[in-house]
Amino acid sequence: MHLHIKLLSFILAVLVNLSWAEVTPTLNSDAIKATFGSYGVEVISQSESTRVANLYSLSGDAKICRTLAVTEFVLPMDPALTEAHRLIRAGGSIGATLRSAGFTINKKLLIKTETAAGHEFVSLTHGSVLVGAPLYTKVYALFAQRGGLQIPYAVIAEAYHPEHFPPAHEEFSEEPSLQQAADRALMALRATIDQGQIKRSPAA
């Protein structure tokens, strides 16, 4: 796993220096809050290299999942991102935390597909999605940019509630090493949705 992540870091660093990443000024968190009136993050599980999170809006006291996200962090972490990464691992929103630290968010789309809603996703949405409903799903590479620095941060797979429309970024890459990371993230996302692997951490 660490070998994969180090290779991923090298590939992302080379490609982003070719200026192919697409700046995304509107974040997914912005879109959720604008559409549903609130936004929060629930960390379901995480390790040194990955995080599974429920990005939700509130309906009364209920947290309605609008995006289920599996993140594979690029390690070793660039020192410029150390503090922001600490806040993210403590439960912060990835895009919003990096933006608050003065970074611009860049994304590169790797996979765009659909995933059938499983029982765990339905549970996270408090029954507002039916089992088997098609969920728009995408995987992308995320970069933090500031003062000429373009730093690879993560590959992220996300499945969206049918009522939620995330910001579009359509610039696409078929680079093989990126696709391998994307496939891993997508597989982990589908396993979480389909196989009942959601287990909330004590800090969630």
**AA identity, residue 148:** G
This prediction's pTM:
0.84
What pLDDT, in 10s, does the model give residues 190-203?
999 975 544 443 33
> What tokens does 98 get?
């990096």
**Domain boundaries, position 47:** 2-194
DSSP 147: T
User: 23: domain CATH number?
Assistant: 3.40.1410.10
What pLDDT, in 10s, does the model give residues 52-105?
999 999 999 999 999 999 999 999 999 999 999 999 999 999 999 999 999 999
Range scoring the smallest mean pLDDT among 5-19, 62-76, 100-114:
5-19
Q: Is residue 54 part of a domain?
A: yes
Q: Is residue 113 part of a domain?
A: yes
Q: Is residue 118 part of a domain?
A: yes
> What tokens does 105 get?
């968010």
Q: Is residue 200 part of a domain?
A: no
State the Cα–Cα distance between residues 177 and 161, nearest whole angstrom: 29
What pLDDT, in 10s, does the model give residues 140-180?
999 999 988 889 999 999 999 999 999 886 678 777 777 88
